Structure 1
Amino acid sequence: ESIALFSVKPIYLLSKIAKPFIKILSFSTGIILKLTGNNSIDVEETISEEEIKALIYRSTEDGLIEDDEKDMLYKVFEFNDRLSKEIMTSRSDTFLINIDDDFKSILSEILEYNFSRVPVYKENTDNIIGILYTKDLLAEASKVGFDNIKIEKILHKPCFVPEVKPVNELFKLLKETKVHLAVLFDEYGGFSGIVTMEDLIEEIMGDIEDEYDKGEDVSQISEDTFMVKGYLSVNDFNDRFDLDIEEGDYDTLNGYLTESLGKIPEENEIVELEKVKFTAIKVKNRRVEEIQVNLLKIEDKI
């Protein structure tokens, strides 16, 4: 279903745009065949990406497709030009399970965050040994009871992929193998992040939210003070507050604070920049869940 969702609308939009031109080409081709006395013709037609984009733009101007549909079609072309590492959830933002952790704490975290698939490591996070499916965990618990579960027996083999793999090739791989999560590794063989099928689909379709997705990312406390969720992406934060936090080996504010401090932040720990101050308000399960953001004025710095 997710793959059908990914494909059907772009195909439909392209067919809408191309339909008048296909009719003209079919009609003109028929005339040529009749004039030459041929019943068939072998002609290789090619059209460039820029020509298709121009056609999409013209169709938008003429009202044949909407602006959001135009953006979606443009993203189809961008999709082929991107690398997996550009859309991954980086290692610092990935929810992982240590197979040697207490099982009750593992279960509590999985149920709290509603993850359907979780990478599992042993000894260190570069050693990903499998993917735990929540449905398998619950099914096994119904058979043997939670106290008797051996997690290593129900792990799925990880789909390891180099982080420089083109996004379109990764989508094809996941579709063919019927796997919904890829584990990315860098040039040194270290774990760098994950990409899910949902990530790939959202590259074209935009955010797909369900009943388990989080609520409001940002809530305003006062004129210059906000409470922000740690999972908010740095890009979205920059757009929201007109800031320019530089990119790094992280995707979210949680990852940014962890990277800046060189460790998992403690509650009330602060990271201050020229225009903004971050205070970790709620830290749980090795990640910052809530952050207080103070926008700084010039007088605040004096």
Structure 2
Amino acid sequence: MDDISTGVLLSILFVLILLSAYFSGSETAMMSLNRYRLRHLANSGHKGAKRAIKMLERPDRLIGLILIGNNLVNILASAIATIIGIRLFGDVGVAISTGVLTLVVLVFAEVTPKTVAALHPERIAFPSSVILRVLLVVLSPFVKVVNFITSGFLHLLGIHSVKNDDALSQEELRTVVNEAGALIPQRHQEMLLSIMDLEKVTVDDIMIPRNELYAININDDFKSINKQVIQSPHTRVLLYRDTIDDAVGFVHLRDALRLQSKGQFSKSSLLRAVKELYFIPEATPLNVQLSNFQHNKERIGLVVDEYGDIQGLVTLEDILEEIVGDFTTSMVAPPSEDITLQQDGSYLIEASINIRDLNKEMSWHFPIDGPKTINGLVLEYLEDIPEPNTSMRLYGYPLEVIDVADNMIKTVRVMPQHYLPPKVTND
């Protein structure tokens, strides 16, 4: 070293600091790459993306390579800086060179390149991957030794795999959709989130309850049956014998009207026109039922409990409405028709309204993991059938029972302007 001039040593030190900056920036750039954009670019034929994704398949090798290079140049830089310091300042030069080199490396070989790489990872990572791939081949023996020792320590810590797992959880995917901003229209975001929520919603949550089914008793007077067919608000009508649990099948109004036009309309011909019933177990998640509808080529089914009793009816349209919103041909009235705004800011609400629909319509927060209707929620809370004018605060919302009939709460008044968040108790 004594034969090398100070100017040459300074030039070598400058090159080493540049190499340190390169390794520091490359590490940050490679680790900051968006894995999904990277995969998209690779599938599109981008060579830099293909190189980067290949190297990121084994992050232990990539990090080992970069750290070997970075530490090597930093140690050499430290040695050369010490020699320069001693030449220029004597023994005190050791301390001076250490302080100056620390500052230079920190600013120009660490913070600055890593910041630039974090802001523009693709601009740094893709060109760097060419050099890194060559270095990986040249320094392969050293990298393998370092990785072997590192893997031993990782095994002691219980880490047995060093491969990347880029799979998103459902909540992470939800966050990605929410943060997409202008990249995905708001309406499309809502639909994507609704699709992810299908597994959290069951057929019980969206079914038309049995007491609201429009059905025809085949044992009724024929004139009554004929009238009900003509006045049916739906294209498919359920036929039963005396009780809903003794369901016969669904008849399409198109078939019934064709029989009427031919003068062949009778109970026997109507029974011959019914379609076989399709039953759905209660608590079936909507994502499963959507697949079942497709597999069985069905559009409508009866929800039954564990005893085989019919609980309600679900259609393919009901499930699709959970994704895209209400259709104009919905079999049930929209929630807004069951909600009436009063002059004092309160709302008169039909107690049979579905709580999920009410929460969606009003952006309220009634629980949905228990009773399905406001009537059921109040009865569960009071554990009794209340008298009219009974008031309570239900999950933070002031609520008054307005009308009770047939052992059911018919109408309630909710005053959301006086809502108070429920107190959370720590047991």
Q: Which interval holds the TM-score relative to the shorter structure?
A: 0.5 to 0.7
Contact 1:93 1:251 in 2 (8 A): no
Deviation of 1:191 after TM superposition, in Å, equals 0.6
Residues 1:93 and 2:212 aligned together: yes
Contact 2:389 2:400 in 1 (8 A): yes
CA RMSD of aligned residues (A): 4.5
Deviation of 1:131 after TM superposition, in Å, equals 1.0
Deviation of 1:55 after TM superposition, in Å, equals 1.9
Structure with the larger strand share: 1
Residues 1:51 and 2:175 aligned together: no
Mean CA deviation greater in 49-58 or 192-201? 49-58
Deviation of 1:198 after TM superposition, in Å, equals 0.5
Q: Give the aligned partner of residue 30 of structure 1.
A: 50
Deviation of 1:96 after TM superposition, in Å, equals 2.0
CA change 1:114–1:221 in 2 (3 A) is same
Q: State the one-letter code of the partner of 1:119.
A: L
Deviation of 1:180 after TM superposition, in Å, equals 1.1
Contact 1:141 1:149 in 2 (8 A): no
Q: Distance in 2 between matches of 1:93 and 1:256?
A: 18
| Local SS of the residue matching 1:144 | coil
Instruction: Spell out the pairing of 1:1-302 with structure 2 (5 A cutoff).
Output: 20=37, 22-26=39-43, 27=46, 28=48, 30-31=50-51, 32=54, 47-49=167-169, 50-60=171-181, 63-146=182-265, 150-210=269-329, 217=337, 218=339, 232-236=353-357, 240=362, 273-274=390-391, 275-279=399-403
Structure with the larger helix share: 2
| Local SS of the residue matching 1:188 | coil
CA change 1:105–1:112 in 2 (3 A) is same
Cα deviation per residue 1:149-187 (whole Å; 9 max; x = unaligned)? 632111110011211322222112212332210111101
Mean CA deviation greater in 236-245 or 20-29? 236-245
| Local SS of the residue matching 2:200 | coil
Deviation of 1:45 after TM superposition, in Å, equals 7.4
TM-score between the two structures when normalised by the length of structure 1: 0.64
Contact 1:93 1:250 in 2 (8 A): no
TM-score between the two structures when normalised by the length of structure 2: 0.48
| Local SS of the residue matching 1:120 | strand
| Local SS of the residue matching 1:137 | helix
Cα deviation per residue 1:119-143 (whole Å; 9 max; x = unaligned)? 2221322122211211111112122
CA change 1:292–1:132 in 2 (3 A) is same
| Local SS of the residue matching 1:173 | helix
Contact 2:241 2:248 in 1 (8 A): yes
Q: Distance in 2 between matches of 1:234 and 1:219?
A: 16
Q: Distance in 2 between matches of 1:279 and 1:237?
A: 19
* Structure 2 runs not aligned, ≥5 long: 1-34, 56-129, 135-162, 379-386, 392-398, 416-427
Larger Rg belongs to:
2
Q: Distance in 2 between matches of 1:58 and 1:245?
A: 27
CA change 1:229–1:166 in 2 (3 A) is closer
**How many pairs were matched up?**
254
Contact 2:349 2:412 in 1 (8 A): yes
Mean CA deviation greater in 91-100 or 145-154? 145-154
Q: Distance in 2 between matches of 1:53 and 1:245?
A: 21
Contact 1:225 1:292 in 2 (8 A): no
Q: Percent identity of the aligned residues?
A: 21
CA change 1:147–1:23 in 2 (3 A) is closer
Deviation of 1:24 after TM superposition, in Å, equals 2.7
Q: State the one-letter code of the partner of 2:40.
A: K
Cα deviation per residue 1:218-253 (whole Å; 9 max; x = unaligned)? 556865898877985455557659796999776588
